[in-house]
């Protein structure tokens, strides 16, 4: 059945190559269309300013221990956090290893998918190396990214401004900004990347933000931050989010305020980093350098932009006017490109005055065409470790397309979409500035995909299956519940619904062995900030020095662990506290 079916995958980023591999393994005839010239998605650097790209200086936020694919371990040669070039290399080697490149049409930009005249297939319209083409497919999966269209603020008086006004998507180098004053709008990861690039060359860098925000470090006390998350902790969090949302909100807001102060130290109220919008309603940012740079006076925190008042002047929300500004770079985020899917229906619940909401069942499937169309670009909050979750999505979609997992009736899917829209409307009523229409209930989204994919993760729960696995193989039960949250776990259990990987057990054990080097007693991590690819460099050296004290955060975490999972060993581990000391070294070539 699958063998006679032609499937198109749009996009060859991490999501697309995973989809291509899984569908091919499951017997579909798959073609992947990618507008770039190589795989890797936004990790494949491009000079084309219309495409989102990680900069050469960008490093993954998630460590290599938790972000590889399910059946292709990260090579040991990589550092804990991969550079963009290394990430592209990893995805490229994955594609070569599984012989996927032969099925990718590069330079193919899909403009539209629509049903054919007799409503039996999908017709894709595209430009392949500039030539218009169209082709019909039985099924289509859009893996074309969720950071594709720039969100650009529309400022009053922008026509008066004679400097450069651009979105971060267009930013490639600091050329022309040497010795100039630059405003970067936003206080999240992209703003941080751009600020780090500007620092060695610009005269003054202003970080403009309209409100506060949580800024997560990628390291905490000598340990990559993502290693704090385990499968068990994730399940506990999901349980509280689902059953006690108010308690979750209260605890996370209080906990994160405490975390921000305990991790970063002094946060001058003038910087307006705190108070931050609730993490339950707005996504946080990640950066190792933004707060230290504020503390060291290397960048200035200023209010949001109100309007442009002259060729080089900007008025801020607090009335301050910044003069002699050469460029304003808006690192204000992205959305997915839905224009390629004009068949999508939209609706809005009663008493809701936000933007129209797309009708996608489980934020993936258009209900009417759920057995032949999936979009993987509309699920903010849904993927925990962005990359490793790709295979779970791919296995789930393939199982639905193959009929291994039955779809509910159309009326049930529509009812679920309506209920989800009601949930979104309730979020809109609480938070409009950072409202994310693609938000999903993480607990529901992930549980659904694991179930459909047949990953067998219920063997790690507190149910009888969990205990059975614990008594059969206590070591693996312990590692998979409380150890590194590696994606190899998703290929471990035999469920008959998807392929297992015979190397999974060894890979899980190896990943847990590898992280025994943490916490590092003295880790020098150089954050090299370049002005363009050829400009000067500033090095911010982060030193982790072992020290007693500041156990509070770990203590609270451990009490929770003990209460819920009775795992006292974690207490001992976590009380080996460390602290982070920042020093800065200037080295302008």
Ligand X SMILES: NC(=O)c1ccc[n+]([C@@H]2O[C@H](COP(=O)([O-])OP(=O)(O)OC[C@H]3O[C@@H](n4cnc5c(N)ncnc54)[C@H](OP(=O)(O)O)[C@@H]3O)[C@@H](O)[C@H]2O)c1
- Would you tell me which residues interact with ligand X (CB under 6 A)? 58-61, 147, 151, 153, 168, 185-191, 193, 209-211, 213, 277, 282-283, 285-286, 304, 331-334, 433-434
Q: How far apart are CA 283 and CA 216, in angstroms?
A: 11
Judged by CB under 6 A, the chain residues 207 through 246 that form the site for ligand FAD are none
Judged by CB under 6 A, the chain residues 89 through 108 that form the site for ligand FAD are 108
Considering only residues 8, 11, 66, 210, which one is a binding residue for ligand FAD as defined by CB under 6 A? Answer: 11
**For residue 159, what are the contacts with CB-CB under 8 A and spacing of at least 6?**
none
Stretch that binds ligand FAD, among 8-16, 269-277, 366-374, 567-575 (CB under 6 A): 8-16
Parallel, antiparallel or unpaired: strands 219-220 and 223-224: antiparallel
**For residue 231, what are the contacts with CB-CB under 8 A and spacing of at least 6?**
457, 460, 480, 481, 482, 485, 489
Residue 12 touches which of ligand FAD, ligand X, none (Cβ within 5-8 Å per kind): ligand FAD
Residue 398 touches which of ligand X, ligand FAD, none (Cβ within 5-8 Å per kind): none
In whole angstroms, the minimum distance from the beta carbon of 48 to ligand FAD comes to 9
Q: How far apart are CA 127 and CA 114, in angstroms?
A: 15
φ and ψ at 581, to 5 degrees?
Answer: -120, 135
Judged by CB under 6 A, the chain residues 482 through 521 that form the site for ligand FAD are none
In whole angstroms, the minimum distance from the beta carbon of 326 to ligand FAD comes to 24
What is the signed CA dihedral for 2, 68, 503, 464, rounded to 10 degrees?
Answer: -80
Q: Work out the angle at residue 544's Cα, subtended by the Cα atoms of residues 196 and 299, and round it to the nearest 5 degrees.
A: 25
Helix, strand or coil, per DSSP, at residue 548? coil
Cβ-based nearer residue to ligand X, 7 or 331: 331
In whole angstroms, the minimum distance from the beta carbon of 338 to ligand FAD comes to 11
Considering only residues 31, 86, 88, 148, which one is a binding residue for ligand FAD as defined by CB under 6 A? Answer: 148
In whole angstroms, the minimum distance from the beta carbon of 337 to ligand FAD comes to 6
Q: How far apart are CA 440 and CA 312, in angstroms?
A: 41
Size of interface with ligand FAD, in residues (CB under 6 A): 34
* 532: nearest Cα among 168, 57, 83: 57
CB 148 within 8 A of CB 333: no
Full 3-state SS string of 444-480: HHHHHHHHHHCCCHHHHCCCHHHHHHHHHCHHHHHHH
Considering only residues 34, 138, 226, 485, which one is a binding residue for ligand FAD as defined by CB under 6 A? Answer: 34
- Contact call for residue 57 and ligand FAD (CB under 6 A): no
- Contact call for residue 110 and ligand FAD (CB under 6 A): yes
Question: What would the two tokens of residue 1 be?
Answer: 């059945």
Considering only residues 2, 7, 8, 13, which one is a binding residue for ligand FAD as defined by CB under 6 A? Answer: 13
Binding mask 371-410 for ligand FAD (x = CB under 6 A): ---------------xx-----------------------
Cβ-based nearer residue to ligand X, 139 or 210: 210
Stretch that binds ligand FAD, among 146-154, 420-428, 458-466, 576-584 (CB under 6 A): 146-154
Cβ-based nearer residue to ligand FAD, 144 or 530: 144
Cβ-based nearer residue to ligand X, 29 or 537: 537
Specify which residues 529 forms β-bridges with.
538
In whole angstroms, the minimum distance from the beta carbon of 320 to ligand X comes to 15
Residue 349 touches which of ligand X, ligand FAD, none (Cβ within 5-8 Å per kind): none
Cβ-based nearer residue to ligand X, 302 or 370: 302
Overall residue count recorded for the chain in this entry: 589
Cβ-based nearer residue to ligand FAD, 137 or 428: 137
Q: How far apart are CA 185 and CA 329, in angstroms?
A: 6
- Contact call for residue 16 and ligand FAD (CB under 6 A): yes
Stretch that binds ligand FAD, among 38-46, 228-236, 238-246, 293-301 (CB under 6 A): 38-46
436: burial class by Cβ within 10 Å (0-12, 13-18, 19+)? middle
Cβ-based nearer residue to ligand FAD, 398 or 500: 398
In whole angstroms, the minimum distance from the beta carbon of 210 to ligand X comes to 5
For helices 14-25 and 84-97, give the axis angle rounded to 10 degrees: 10
- Contact call for residue 41 and ligand FAD (CB under 6 A): yes
Cβ-based nearer residue to ligand X, 28 or 334: 334
Cβ-based nearer residue to ligand FAD, 196 or 459: 196
**For residue 559, what are the contacts with CB-CB under 8 A and spacing of at least 6?**
none
Q: How far apart are CA 552 and CA 483, in angstroms?
A: 22
- Contact call for residue 322 and ligand FAD (CB under 6 A): no
In whole angstroms, the minimum distance from the beta carbon of 122 to ligand X comes to 29
Distance of CA 404 to the CA centre of its chain: 29
Residue 213 touches which of ligand X, ligand FAD, none (Cβ within 5-8 Å per kind): ligand X
Cβ-based nearer residue to ligand FAD, 14 or 500: 14
**For residue 48, what are the contacts with CB-CB under 8 A and spacing of at least 6?**
none
For helices 552-565 and 245-264, give the axis angle rounded to 10 degrees: 150
Residue 210 touches which of ligand FAD, ligand X, none (Cβ within 5-8 Å per kind): ligand X
In whole angstroms, the minimum distance from the beta carbon of 461 to ligand FAD comes to 25
Q: How far apart are CA 536 and CA 589, in angstroms?
A: 5
Residue 62 touches which of ligand X, ligand FAD, none (Cβ within 5-8 Å per kind): ligand FAD
Question: What would the two tokens of residue 505 be?
Answer: 């057990």
Give how far Cα 106 sits from Cα of 10, 35, 38, 130, 169, Å.
11, 6, 7, 12, 21
Stretch that binds ligand FAD, among 140-148, 177-185, 270-278, 521-529 (CB under 6 A): 140-148
**For residue 210, what are the contacts with CB-CB under 8 A and spacing of at least 6?**
303, 304, 317, 433
Stretch that binds ligand FAD, among 9-17, 299-307, 430-438, 462-470 (CB under 6 A): 9-17
Distance of CA 62 to the CA centre of its chain: 9
Which residues are at the interface with ligand FAD (CB under 6 A)? 10-16, 33-36, 41-43, 51-52, 54, 58, 60-62, 108-110, 143-148, 190, 340, 386-387
């Amino acid at each position: 059945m699958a063998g006679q079916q032609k499937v198109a995958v749009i996009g060859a980023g991490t999501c697309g190559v995973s989809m291509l591999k899984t569908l091919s393994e499951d017997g579909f005839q798959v073609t992947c269309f990618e507008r770039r010239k190589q795989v890797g998605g936004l990790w494949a650097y491009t000079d084309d300013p219309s495409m989102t790209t990680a900069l050469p200086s960008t490093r993954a936020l998630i460590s290599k221990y938790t972000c590889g694919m399910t059946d292709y371990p990260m090579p040991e040669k990589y550092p804990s956090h991969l550079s963009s070039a290394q990430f592209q290399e990893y995805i490229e080697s994955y594609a070569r290893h599984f012989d996927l490149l032969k099925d990718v049409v590069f330079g193919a930009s899909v403009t539209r998918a629509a049903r054919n005249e007799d409503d039996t297939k999908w017709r894709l319209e595209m430009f392949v190396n500039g030539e218009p083409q169209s082709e019909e497919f039985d099924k289509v999966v859009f893996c074309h990214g969720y950071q594709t269209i720039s969100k650009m603020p529309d400022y009053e008086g922008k026509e008066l401004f004679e400097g450069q006004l651009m979105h971060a998507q267009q930013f490639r180098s600091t050329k022309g900004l040497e010795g100039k004053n630059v405003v970067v709008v936003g206080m999240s990861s992209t703003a941080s990347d751009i600020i780090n690039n500007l620092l060695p060359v610009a005269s003054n860098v202003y970080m403009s933000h309209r409100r506060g925000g949580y800024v997560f470090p990628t390291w905490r006390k000598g340990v990559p931050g993502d290693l704090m998350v385990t499968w068990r902790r994730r399940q506990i969090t999901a349980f509280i989010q689902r059953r006690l949302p108010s308690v979750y909100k209260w605890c996370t807001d209080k906990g994160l305020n405490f975390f921000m102060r305990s991790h970063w130290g002094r946060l001058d109220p003038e910087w307006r980093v705190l108070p931050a919008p609730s993490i339950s309603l707005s996504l946080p940012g990640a950066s190792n350098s933004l707060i230290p740079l504020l503390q060291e006076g290397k960048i200035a925190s200023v209010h949001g932009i109100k309007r442009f008042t002259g060729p080089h002047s900007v008025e801020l929300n607090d009335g301050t006017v910044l003069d002699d500004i050469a460029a304003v770079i808006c690192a204000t985020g992205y959305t997915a490109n839905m224009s390629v899917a004009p068949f999508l229906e939209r609706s809005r619940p009663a008493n809701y005055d936000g933007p129209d909401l797309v009708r996608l069942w489980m934020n993936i499937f258009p209900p009417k065409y759920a057995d032949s169309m999936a979009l993987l670009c509309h699920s903010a909050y849904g993927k925990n470790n962005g990359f490793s979750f790709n295979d779970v999505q791919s296995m789930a979609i393939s199982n639905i397309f193959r009929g291994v997992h039955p779809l509910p009736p159309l009326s049930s899917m529509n009812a679920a979409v309506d209920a989800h829209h009601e949930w979104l409307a309730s979020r809109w009523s609480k938070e409009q500035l950072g409202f994310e229409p693609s938000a999903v209930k993480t607990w529901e989204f992930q549980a659904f995909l694991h179930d459909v994919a047949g990953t067998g993760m219920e063997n790690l729960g507190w149910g009888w299956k969990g205990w059975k696995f614990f008594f059969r193989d206590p070591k693996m039960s312990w590692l998979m519940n409380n150890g590194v949250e590696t994606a190899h776990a998703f290929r471990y259990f035999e469920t008959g619904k998807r392929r297992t990987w015979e190397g999974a057990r060894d890979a899980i054990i190896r990943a847990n062995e590898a992280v025994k080097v943490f916490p590092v007693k003295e880790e020098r991590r150089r954050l090299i900030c370049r002005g363009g690819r050829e400009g000067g460099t500033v090095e911010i050296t982060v030193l982790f020095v072992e020290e007693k004290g500041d156990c509070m955060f770990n203590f609270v975490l451990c009490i929770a662990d003990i209460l819920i999972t009775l795992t006292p060993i974690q207490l001992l581990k976590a009380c080996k506290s460390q602290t982070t000391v920042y020093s800065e070294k200037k080295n302008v070539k």
